[in-house]
Structure 1
Amino acid sequence: MRLLLAALSHETNTFSPVPTPRERFCRTGGALLEGQAAIDFYRDTGTCLGGFLKVAEEAGAAVTMSIAAHAPPSGKVEAAAYEGFCDSICAAVAAGGHDGILLDLHGAMVAEGFDDGEGELVRRIRAIDGTTPIAIAYDMHANVHANMVEGPVVTCGYHTYPHVDQAETAERAARILLRVLAGEVKPTTAWARAPMLPHVMAQGTHAFPNRELQALCAGWEASGRALAASLYVGFPHADIEYAGLSAVVTTDDDPAEAQAMVAELIDFAWKARQDFTFRPEPLAESVARAKAAGATRADLPVVLLDHYDNCASGGTMDTTETLAEILRQGLEDVAFFGLCDPEAVAACQAAGIGATVTLALGGKLPMPALPQSSRPLTVTGTVKTISAGTFVTKAGLSPGLKVYMGPTVVLDTGAVEIVLVTRQIEPVSPDMFRILGIEPRDKRYLAIKSRVHWRAALGPLAREIVECAGIGVCTSDYGQLTFRNVRRPIYPLDPGANGPTL
């Protein structure tokens, strides 16, 4: 048995000013991973490719690895990059000789010229090879289009947010594919959308309603009622027609049962639509509340979430308003992670460890999609740490994966240790602090540019959680954004929107 593997993963925030060229998909900071180098990089990691490789190797399959292209969220994928990636994957398909195809795709990729980046790729693959079975692992934030789910034999979506089940999702998809190849099952799929844009801050599987929706899906899979059942909360910061929540269920040759499960998921989600909303509070009030919570020293820190600027949802990671408010209100013993500011990193490197520097941090990327952009923040501090920014994740998201933050420094104001990075990266792991000489457990406050993923590994360290509405293209205030392309009416943009018709 011979299996073809490939990955093309990007979550596109169409409001983000951060460009997405080919280089952004080079995970190690060097060349794009492909072939044996990609196999070696992803084997035994908690990633989708790691899960595919595990199942393939257990089955004794020969593996052909095409490209492994993963980029952190940002603006639309540049046309040249997208076309090049599709050409590479399609060339591997055209070479033939494969019994099955396993794809690691995100599901919310928007390329220049294509709102449905994954669906267009699948369409091109099917135009070359209309018969070889395909299995796809999708992110829970997929914005589903027909070509994404109707062309493949089977698709599986993550059941957890934070996404700690990436490898397990890929394993489920791959094992179904093996059953198809063995003639044991005949997949049939039903799917539907709901006219709703769930707020990302209300999508976590630690709470109602997504916890219960994902439990339904996992239960149906475990019982055998469904081969695969996925509730996709969608990615709301993609201003495309079909952004939003959807459900996809695959059964063993039972279309009526697949449709019944889809209807149950969609009905549940629609009835819980108010619980998928989020209401921010003014920034000054949030920081004051955090300051009061940390006034008494305790064993664990208060966590402040600068969630409007989460680069894992396409944020610039250079907005300064939350940091400025922390400094203004005089919080002490704070670790702030962080700001993506290559110029500031270079200045600190040139000055050297122990040097005192005064720098204008952040606020360098304009954000025309918002009513206002961030402003640089002038800070004086001591260069405490200079690091290459490379580590292996031990827990939480993607364990075993080697991570490249790029050159990284810590600038210490005396009250706040500010992490400055050269590549946008969400602070989700204690390891990211520890390689910089910061023990997160020992801080009074952790201020991080994150929304939900931090819960996987940093969550157990939080004494209290305070959500801070700064400035950024990941805003949870939909009123700050102008949606021109998403279908209307849609909830909560249109509170009186009618429910789905199934």
Structure 2
Amino acid sequence: MRILIAGLSHETNTFSPVPTPRERFCRDGKTLLEGKAALDFFRNTGTCIGGFLKVAEAAGAEVVCSIAAHAPPSGAVQRAAYDGFCERICADVAKGGWDAILLDLHGAMVVEGFEDGEGELMRRIRAVDARTPIAISYDMHANIYPDMVERATVTAGYHTYPHVDQGETAARAAAVLLRAMKGEVTPVTAWGRAPMLPHVMAQGTHAYPNKELQAMCRQWEESGRALTASLYVGFPHADIEGAGLSAVVTTDGDKSAAEAMVQELLDLAWKARESFVFRPEPLGESVAKAKALAAQGGDLPVVMLDHYDNCASGGTMDTTEVLAEILRQGLTDVAFFGICDKAAVEACLKAGPGAEITLDIGGKLPMPALPQSSKPLTVTGTVKTISSGTFVTKAGLSPGLKVFMGPTVVLDTGTVEIVLVTRQIEPVSPDMFRILGIEPRDKKVLAIKSRVHWRAALGPLAREIVECAGVGVCTSDFSQLKFEKVRRPIYPLDPGTNG
């Protein structure tokens, strides 16, 4: 048995000013993973390709990898980059001789010129190979379009947010595909949407209602009622027709049962729509709350979330408003991760370890989609740590995965240790602090540019959680964004929407 694996993954924030060229899909910023090098990189990791490999190799298959192109969230993918990736994948598909194709896709890719990057890839693949069975793993934040599911044999979406089940999800999809190839099951799929845009800050599976929705999907799969069942909360920071919540269910030959389960998921989600809304509070109040909580003392830190600028949702990671308020209110013993500012890092590298330096950090990228952009912040501090920013993560989203933050420094102001990075990366693991000489458990305050993913590995370290509404294209205040293409009416943009 010969199996082709390919990865093309990007979550597109159409309001983000961060460009998405070909280089952004390279793990180290230079070289695209492909072939044997890609298989070796992902083998025994908690990633989708790692999950595909586990199932395929256990089945004794010969596995070939086309490309493994994964880019951090940002603006629309540049058309030349996308076309090049599709051409490579389709050329490998066209070589023929494949018994199955396994695709690691995100589900919320927008490309210059069209909204549905994954569906377009599927159309191009099926133009050269109409028959080979295909299994796809999708992120829970997928915005579903027809071709994404109807042109595949089987699809599966993550059941957890934080996404700690990436490898498991791919393995679920691959296992169903192998059963179908043996004639044990006949996959049939139904899907549907609800007219709602759940706020990302209200999508975590640690709480109602997504916790209950995903549990329902898992129970159906475990009982055999469904081959795969996926509730996609969608990615709302995409001004496209298909943004929002959807459900996809695949059964063994029973289309009506699949349709009934889809409707059950959509009905439950719609009934809980108010719980999918997040209402932020003024920044000054949040920072004051964090200061008071930190003053109470305790064995673990207060975690502050600068969630309007989460680069894992397309944020620039260079907005300074939350950091500025932390400094203004005089919080102490703070680790702030972080500000993406290549020029500031280079200035610190030039100054050298132990040097005191005054410089402007952040506020470099204009954000025309917002009513306001961020401003550079002048800080004075000592260059405490210099790091290559490369490590292997031990826990959290993708255990065993090699991570490239790029050259990284810690600038210590005396009250706040500011992490300055050269590549946008969400701070989700204690490892990211520890390689910089910061023990996160020992700080009074951890201030991080994250939304939900931090809970996977940093969550156990949090004594209290304070959500801070700063500035950024991941804003939870939808009134700051101009939606022109998303289908209307849709809740909560249109409060009177009927389900």
Distance in 2 of aligned mates of 1:44 and 1:310 = 28
CA distance in 2: counterparts of 1:128 and 1:193, whole angstroms: 30
- In the TM superposition, what are the counterparts of 1:200-239 in structure 2 within 5 Å? 200-239=200-239
Matched, 1:422 2:386: no
Q: How does 1:217-296 map to 2 (within 5 A)?
A: 217-296=217-296
Cα deviation per residue 1:122-176 (whole Å; 9 max; x = unaligned)?
Answer: 0111111111000000000000000000000000000000000000000000101
Cα deviation for residue 64 of structure 1 reads 1.1
Unaligned runs of 5+ in 2: none
Deviations 1:299-321 (A, max 9, x none): 10000000000000000000000
Q: What residue is the counterpart of 1:305 in the other structure?
A: 305
> 5+ unaligned residues in a row in structure 1: which ranges?
none
1:400-458 deviation digits (Å, cap 9, x = unpaired)? 00000000000000000000000000000000000000000000000000000000000
**Is 1:444 aligned to 2:437, yes or no?**
no
TM (normalized to structure 2)?
A: 1.00
1:185 aligns with 2:201: no
Counterpart mapping for 1:280-359 below 5 A? 280-359=280-359
Alignment correspondent of 1:38 = 38
2:109 alignment partner in structure 1: 109
Tell me, in whole angstroms, the C-alpha distance in 2 between the residues paired with 1:27 and 1:144: 26
Secondary structure of the residue aligned to 1:293 is helix
Distance 2:480 2:62 in 1: 50
User: Which deviations, in whole Å up to 9, do the C-alpha atoms of 1:175-218 show, x marking residues without a partner?
Assistant: 01110111111000000000000000000000000000000000
Which residue of 2 is the match for residue 396 of structure 1? 396
Scaled by the length of structure 1, what TM-score is found? Answer: 0.99
In 1, Cα distance between equivalents of 2:471 and 2:23: 27
Paired with 2:385 and 2:340, the residues of 1 have a C-alpha distance of 16
How many residues of Structure 1 are paired with residues of Structure 2 in the alignment?
A: 499
Structure 1 distance, partners of 2:105, 2:114, is 15
Distance 1:80 1:33 in 2: 18
Q: Which amino acid aligns with 2:170?
A: A
Amino acid corresponding to residue 454 of structure 1 in structure 2: W
Deviation string 1:327-357 (CA, Å, 9 cap, x unpaired) is 0000000000000000000000000000000
The alpha-carbon deviation at position 298 of structure 1 amounts to 1.0
Q: Distance in 2 between matches of 1:359 and 1:94?
A: 54
SS at the partner of 1:294?
helix
CA RMSD, 1 decimal = 0.4
Cα distance, 1:29 vs. partner? 2.5
What's 1:85 paired with? 85
| 1:50-69 pair list within 5 angstroms | 50-69=50-69
Q: Work out whether 1:10 is the aligned partner of 2:2.
A: no
SS state at 2:37 partner: helix
Deviation at 1:113, TM superposition (A): 1.1
- Which amino acid letter does the alignment assign opposite residue 236 of structure 2? P
Alpha-carbon distance between aligned partners in 2 of 1:276 and 1:96, rounded to the nearest angstrom: 45
Identity in percent: 79
Following superposition, the deviation at residue 30 of structure 1 comes to 2.5
Aligned counterparts, 1:374-393, within 5 A: 374-393=374-393
Give the Cα–Cα distance (whole angstroms) in 1 for the partners of residues 256 and 144 of structure 2: 21
Following superposition, the deviation at residue 296 of structure 1 comes to 2.1
- Aligned-partner Cα distance in 2 for 1:64–1:181: 18
One-letter code aligned to 2:78: E
Q: Which amino acid aligns with 1:191?
A: W
* Secondary structure at the counterpart of residue 295 of structure 2: coil
Q: How much has 1:114 moved relative to structure 2? A: 1.6
In structure 2, C-alpha distance between the alignment counterparts of 1:342 and 1:376, rounded to whole Å: 13
Alpha-carbon distance, 1:382 to partner: 0.1
Q: Secondary structure at the match of 2:372?
A: coil
